[in-house]
């Protein structure tokens, strides 16, 4: 059972990365040996356009302290326009979640290409530090019975 309030707490961040750009960017960061915090849990998705509000909220519900979605730069989408649809959805969702009281730095979006290994490591560090500054995420996290094994 993870401890959410004690010292030594490390943020847990779920990163939805598009299979064509940002996931490959993460790969390049690894191959190039750029250092970034181990707080990122990567979920590979076919396209940033695949990521909907349910997926993001489900991550928070399951105990993520931050969520990061990253896809191809506008104009570079493997499916031509998936990230452009996603952009509208994300902008609207982020503003909306902030409206109901989610802290602005919990949710991050970025465009990272397959050649931006260093950019990936920097962004991963930035996201981690911003989430760390906020502490554990209590809002939207569904607390389970302490006897129950948490899936994390």
> Counting contacts by CB under 8 A, is residue 7 touching other proteins?
no
Q: Is the dihedral of CA 13, 19, 23, 27 positive or negative?
A: positive
1 or 91: CB nearest other proteins: 91
> Counting contacts by CB under 8 A, is residue 10 touching other proteins?
no
The footprint of other proteins on residues 61-80 (CB under 8 A) is 61, 72-76
8 or 146: CB nearest other proteins: 146
The footprint of other proteins on residues 95-124 (CB under 8 A) is 95-104, 108-116, 118-119, 122-123
22 or 39: CB nearest other proteins: 22
The footprint of other proteins on residues 32-61 (CB under 8 A) is 53-54, 57-58, 61
7 or 80: CB nearest other proteins: 80
Annotate the chain with DSSP letters as a single string: ---SSSTT----EEEEEETTTHHHHHHHHHHTT----TTEEEEEES-GGG--HHHHHHHHHTT-SEEEEEEPPTT--TTSSHHHHHHHHHHHHHHHHHHTT--GGGEEEEE--TT-HHHHHHHHHHHHHHHHHH-S--TT--PPPTTSPP--
Which residue ranges make up the site for other proteins (CB under 8 A)? 20-21, 53-54, 57-58, 61, 72-76, 81, 84-85, 87-104, 108-116, 118-119, 122-123, 126, 139-143
């Amino acid at each position: 059972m993870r401890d959410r309030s004690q010292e030594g707490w490390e943020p847990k961040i779920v990163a939805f990365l598009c299979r064509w750009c940002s996931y490959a960017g993460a790969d390049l960061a690894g191959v190039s040996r750029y250092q970034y915090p181990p707080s990122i849990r990567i979920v590979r998705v076919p396209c940033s356009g695949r990521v909907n509000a349910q997926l993001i909220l489900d991550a928070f519900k399951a105990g993520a302290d931050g969520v990061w979605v990253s896809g191809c730069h506008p104009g570079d989408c493997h499916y031509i326009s998936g990230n452009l649809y996603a952009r509208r959805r994300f902008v609207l969702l982020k503003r909306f979640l902030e409206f109901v009281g989610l802290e602005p730095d919990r949710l991050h979006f970025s465009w990272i290409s397959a050649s931006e290994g260093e950019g990936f490591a920097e962004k991963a560090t930035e996201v981690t530090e911003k989430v760390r500054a906020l502490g554990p995420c209590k809002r939207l996290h569904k607390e389970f019975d302490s006897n129950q094994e948490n899936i994390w």
